[in-house]
């Protein structure tokens, strides 16, 4: 029976490694602008890097309830770093801090921050890969399939002048569909208890997963699969008695018909369990490096990330905060489609084919924070509106 103590032991095993081999170029960078230590990242930039360079972001595991940046990634980071990659390692809020979807909101805010500050850190925004183990595997898979999903973007956090799309994902034994984990484990001959109210997945979601299936389904990367997704390399062990290896196998099976093979691949490792040093051996690291070398090819314009070609600028909105009417200033020489979205990504107001100053009646908006986005050919203007 999977219990909390065994999960803690397995999660700690997934966090093997240390941050002793590399020293961050920048430590504790606040990507959300909140001063929260759970929303900071470390950045490792190889010496002499001055031109736009590919980036690999690590997202740690720990059953969504433990762990932090600086653990678990170093063997692979050394390989990536020594082969010219910039590396980033991020914290995110854990299930004891707040419930889902805050965790994916944080990861997306970190990606947007790094893109907005790409010139400072010499990052090529068309060459961004992510790697994560266990819980981090779920989060990198979510990043890989939800680049255009507004309700998961978390635009109330951090930078808004970029997208959270990534180009390549390495998912190491991540949970994918919380609703089917117990049944898949039984099929493979072992018992877990994801459906329990005390499981990490239920703690993450705020209730026993089977009692809130619609919400839990939204945490399943598979439901968002589309042709503009990142490339995926998924790997798991055939004796993993924490996360059934069929979780990753099923994700790959959903990806292949849509994005093709070998852009999506699954590797089942004989005799390997959940976590441990095996996953960051020289042999395994070489596989991840080859994958990133292949798919971080700068192909922003044609594979999934066409919006990275847009010019992002601030949108002037006044008065702001506003109680009723508010005016949005747009250039006169371009035609825009304008959308007002709440912090869940739900569109609450739209106006098409407009230019110049536009006044809106905000009386229909509830009190709170909104994102205002105006899109024209090759240009996106964004701003936040506070309704009092």
| pLDDT, position 99 | 97
For the cut 90, the answer to whether the pLDDT of residue 12 exceeds it is no
Between 308 and 61, the more confident residue is: 61
98 and 194 in a single domain? The answer is yes
Q: Which of 63-77, 178-192, 197-211, 240-254 has the lowest mean pLDDT?
A: 63-77
205 forms beta bridges with none
347 and 272 in a single domain? The answer is no
Where does 198-334 have alpha helices with state H?
A: 200-205, 213-217, 246-259, 282-295
pLDDT, tens digit (0-9, with 9 covering 90-100), for 315-345: 999 999 998 899 999 999 889 999 998 887 7
Q: Are strands 316-318 and 168-172 parallel, antiparallel or unpaired?
A: unpaired
Query: Final residue of a domain: which of 278, 307, 336?
Result: 307
The enclosing domain of 330 has a CATH number of 2.60.40.1930
For the chain, what percent of residues have pLDDT higher than 90? Answer: 76
For the cut 60, the answer to whether the pLDDT of residue 302 exceeds it is no
For the cut 80, the answer to whether the pLDDT of residue 82 exceeds it is yes
Band of the pLDDT at 377, cuts 50, 70, 90? confident
DSSP secondary structure string for all residues of 37-63: GGGEEEEE--TT--S-EEEEEEE--ST
Band of the pLDDT at 125, cuts 50, 70, 90? very high
317 forms beta bridges with 328
The enclosing domain of 116 has a CATH number of 3.40.50.1820
181 and 324 in a single domain? The answer is no
204 and 314 in a single domain? The answer is no
Query: Final residue of a domain: which of 274, 290, 307?
Result: 307
Cα 189 from Cα 180, distance rounded (Å): 14
Range of the domain at 350: 310-387
Q: Which of 9-18, 129-138, 271-280, 339-348 has the lowest mean pLDDT?
A: 9-18
246 and 303 in a single domain? The answer is yes
The mean pLDDT of 247-261, rounded to a whole number, is 97
Instruction: Share the mean pLDDT of the chain.
Output: 90
Band of the pLDDT at 373, cuts 50, 70, 90? confident
For the chain, what percent of residues have pLDDT higher than 70? Answer: 91
The secondary structure element, H or E, covering residue 89 is: strand 86-90
CB 267 within 8 A of CB 172: no
Q: Which of 7-11, 53-57, 85-89 has the lowest mean pLDDT?
A: 7-11
Band of the pLDDT at 306, cuts 50, 70, 90? very low
For the cut 60, the answer to whether the pLDDT of residue 78 exceeds it is yes
165 forms beta bridges with none
Band of the pLDDT at 6, cuts 50, 70, 90? very low
The mean pLDDT of 131-140, rounded to a whole number, is 97
290 and 367 in a single domain? The answer is no
pLDDT, tens digit (0-9, with 9 covering 90-100), for 37-70: 999 999 999 999 999 999 999 999 999 999 999 8
167 and 141 in a single domain? The answer is yes
| pLDDT, position 148 | 83
For the cut 50, the answer to whether the pLDDT of residue 388 exceeds it is yes
The mean pLDDT of 288-303, rounded to a whole number, is 83
The mean pLDDT of 22-31, rounded to a whole number, is 96
For the cut 80, the answer to whether the pLDDT of residue 72 exceeds it is no
| pLDDT, position 307 | 53
| pLDDT, position 158 | 93
188 and 135 in a single domain? The answer is yes
- Comparing CA positions, the residue from 237, 224, 93, 212 lying closest to residue 147 is 224
Query: Final residue of a domain: which of 270, 286, 307?
Result: 307
281 and 342 in a single domain? The answer is no
CB 305 within 8 A of CB 163: yes
281 and 323 in a single domain? The answer is no
User: Which tokens go with 241?
Assistant: 């008695």
185 and 231 in a single domain? The answer is yes
Question: How many domains are there within the chain?
Answer: 2
Cα 305 from Cα 308, distance rounded (Å): 6
pLDDT, tens digit (0-9, with 9 covering 90-100), for 155-203: 889 998 889 999 999 999 999 999 999 999 999 999 999 999 999 999 9
192 and 341 in a single domain? The answer is no
For the cut 90, the answer to whether the pLDDT of residue 74 exceeds it is no
For the cut 50, the answer to whether the pLDDT of residue 304 exceeds it is no
- Range ranked top by mean pLDDT from 7-16, 147-156, 248-257: 248-257
């Amino acid at each position: 029976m999977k219990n909390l103590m065994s999960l803690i032991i397995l999660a700690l095993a997934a966090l093997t490694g240390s941050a002793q081999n590399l020293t961050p170029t920048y430590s504790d960078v606040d990507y959300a602008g909140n001063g929260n230590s759970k929303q900071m990242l470390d950045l490792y930039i190889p010496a002499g890097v001055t031109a736009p360079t590919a980036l690999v972001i690590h997202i740690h595991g720990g059953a969504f309830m433990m762990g932090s940046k600086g653990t678990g990634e170093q063997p692979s980071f050394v390989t990536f770093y020594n082969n010219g990659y910039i590396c980033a390692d991020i914290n995110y809020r854990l299930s004891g801090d707040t419930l889902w979807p805050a965790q994916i909101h944080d990861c997306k805010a970190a990606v947007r921050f790094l893109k907005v500050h790409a010139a400072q850190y010499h990052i090529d925004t068309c060459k961004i890969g992510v790697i994560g183990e266990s819980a981090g595997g779920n989060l990198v898979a979510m990043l890989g399939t939800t680049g255009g999903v507004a309700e998961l973007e978390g635009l109330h956090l951090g930078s808004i002048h970029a997208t959270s799309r990534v180009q390549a994902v390495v998912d190491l034994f991540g949970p994918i569909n919380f609703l089917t984990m117990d049944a898949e484990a039984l099929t493979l001959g072992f018992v877990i208890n994801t459906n329990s109210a005390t499981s990490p997945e239920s703690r993450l979601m705020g209730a026993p997963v089977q009692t809130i299936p619609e919400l839990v389904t939204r945490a399943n990367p598979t439901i968002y699969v589309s042709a503009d997704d990142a490339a995926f390399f998924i790997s798991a062990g055939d004796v993993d008695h924490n996360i059934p290896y069929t979780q990753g196998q099923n994700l790959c099976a959903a990806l292949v018909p849509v994005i093709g093979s070998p852009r999506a691949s699954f590797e089942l490792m004989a005799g390997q369990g959940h976590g441990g040093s095996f996953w960051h051996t020289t042999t395994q690291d070489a596989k991840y490096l080859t994958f990133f070398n292949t798919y971080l090819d700068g192909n922003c314009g044609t594979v999934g990330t066409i919006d990275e070609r847009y010019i992002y600028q601030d949108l002037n909105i006044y008065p702001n905060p506003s109680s009723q009417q508010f005016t949005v200033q747009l250039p006169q020489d371009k035609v825009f489609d304008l959308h007002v979205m709440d912090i869940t990504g739900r569109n609450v107001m739209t106006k098409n084919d407009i230019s110049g100053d536009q006044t809106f009646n905000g009386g229909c908006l509830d009190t709170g924070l909104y994102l205002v986005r105006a899109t024209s050919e090759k240009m996106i203007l964004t701003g936040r509106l506070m309704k009092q």
